[in-house]
Each structure stands twice: as structure tokens, then as C-alpha cells.
Structure 1
Amino acid sequence: MPAASASQGQALYQGTCGACHGPRAEGFAHLKTPNLRVLDRVYLERQLTAFSDGTRGGEQHGSELAIWMRGIALQLHDEGQRRVLLDYIASP
């Protein structure tokens, strides 16, 4: 990953994901947040889409954590942002 993309991905991750999924995307058991590093990229893309479109995290049927995650996913509406973010999560 180019250095500019890596720093963009890191900043985006820390600003949107890091508080709940940890500094290295490994999740927190006490928050019940998953380790993103072991999840397939396609799965993560689908989950972001599901949260964005309300399939997951809708107020009528979502848990509190899912509703929070939907709010985060709505901030990541640009495909370029998602690509850089997922590249960062997948990086060593």
C-alpha cells in the first residue's frame, strides 16, 4: 500500500473504528466487538453496506451496538474511503 494511502487509512480507521475495534482492529471482548483482521474483506464490505442501507442496525430491529455501527457506516459513504479503510485493516 502506498504511504499516502496507508496514512489515510490509519487516520480514517482511528477516527471511525479504533475506539470500538482497538488500535490494531483486533476488537475488544468487553465491548463484544469483533476482530476485523480475521474477517474476509468481502464480508466486511457487505457488512458496511448492510449497516449503511439499514439492513443491519436499523432502530426497529438493531441492538444498541448495531445502531452505533450504522452511524459509523453512514460516515463511510464514499467507495474510496471504504477501500482505503479496508486496505489498512488488511495491512500487516
Structure 2
Amino acid sequence: METILVNFLRAKGANKRSVEIKATVTGQDDGTLDLLMQILAVCQAATQQNQRVETSMFWTKLARIIDVTFFVLYLITIIVFLSMLGHLWFSE
């Protein structure tokens, strides 16, 4: 179940979407307002892209923390199990 959870979080954190921002200038004399609107749209798209990157980094870091935590718990369990087993075998 831990593997399924970590894989789910990594997939959720994968940045699958990329935003292409294209600004075109029409070359008309009255295009100043259009140009300002395009610049505003580019800024908003860049802000949304930054938020998606931060969110994907959060899920990736969370998956890494969970993965390392369970690995350490696994190692502790193996060490305790083998030491108890060795103690029982060699005490008789």
C-alpha cells in the first residue's frame, strides 16, 4: 500500500502540463490596448505555471518523505527481527 501511495503522489506531482505563451502584435495603430491585454494574459499564465510547479514540487517532496520514512521503518524492523532471531537461536 505504501508503494501505491508513493506512486500516486509522484504521478500527482508530475508536471504533465506545459503552457505555451504566445504573444502576437497585430501592428495596428490602435493595438495599444490589445498589447496591454496580451501582456496581462502572459503574466497571469506565468503566475499559474509557477503555482503548478510549486504544487507538483510539494507532492513530489511529500512522496519522498513518505518513501524514506517507510524505508527506515523497514530497516529497523529487519534489524530487530534478525537480532531477536539470532538471540533465540544462539541462546540454546
> Normalised by the size of structure 1, how large is the TM-score?
0.27
Higher relative contact order (CA 8 A, sep 6+): 2
Structure (1 or 2) with the greater helix fraction: 2
